[in-house]
Amino acid sequence: MADFGYSLVKSGKTDLDTAGNALARSVSEAEPGFNLCIACGCCVATCSAGRFTNFGFRELIHRIKRGEEKLMIAEAEKCMLCGKCTLVCPRNINTRNIVLLIRKHAIIKGL
Partner 1 sequence: MDKTVAVVGGGVAGLAAAAALNQLGYRVLLYEKEAFTGGNVRNWDRLFPKARNAREVVDELASSLTGLTEIATGTFVNSVKSTDGLFEIESSGRPAYADAVLLTTGFELFDARKKEEYGYGIFENVITSADLEKMFASSGKPLMADGSEPKKVAFIHCVGSRDEKVNKPYCSKVCCVTAVKQAVEVREALPECEVYNFYMDLRMFGTGYEQLYKEAQVKGVNFIRGRLSEANETRTHQVMIKAEDTLVSRPLQITVDLVVLMVGMSPAGSTMTILKSLGLLGNEDGFAGIANAHTGSTLTLKKGVFVAGACSGPANITDSVNEARAAALRIHQYLGGV
Partner 2 sequence: MKQEGKRSIWNDYQKEIADDKFYYVRSCIRQNFFPGSETAFLKILREVLEKDVFDDRHHTTCTGIGYHAEVVPLETTMTVVGRNFALMKEAGYQNYVPSCVTSFGIYTEILDSWHHFPEVEARARENLDKATGRTFEIPGNLAHTSDIIFKFRNEIAAKAKYMLVNKTTGKPLRVVDHIGCHYAKMFPQKGIGGAEYPYVLAGMVEAWGGEVIDYPERRHCCGFGFRQYLVKANRGYSISCSKKKFESMEPEKPDFIIANCPGCAYFLDRWQYALAEMEGKTYGEDGHGIPSLTYEEVAGLVLGFDPWELGLQLHQVPVESLLKKMGVAYDPESKFRGANGEDLGQPESPLNLKFYE
Extended beta strands in 35-88, E state: none
CB of residue 11 vs partner 2: minimum separation in angstroms?
A: 7
Residue window 18-57: x/- pattern of binding to partner 1, with contact defined by CB under 8 A? ----------x---x--xx-xx------------------
Tell me whether residue 2 or residue 108 sits nearer to partner 2 (CB atom): 2
Tell me whether residue 7 or residue 18 sits nearer to partner 1 (CB atom): 18
62 with 68: CB under 8 angstroms? no
Tell me whether residue 1 or residue 108 sits nearer to partner 2 (CB atom): 1
Task: Report how far apart, in Å, the C-alpha atoms of 4 and of each of 7, 8, 9, 10, 83 are.
Answer: 8, 11, 14, 17, 52
36 with 91: CB under 8 angstroms? yes
- Report how far residue 101's alpha carbon sits from residue 24's, in angstroms, rounded to the nearest whole number: 10
List residues binding partner 2 (CB under 8 A): 1-9, 11
List residues binding partner 1 (CB under 8 A): 12-17, 28, 32, 35-36, 38-39, 58-59, 62-63, 65-66, 91
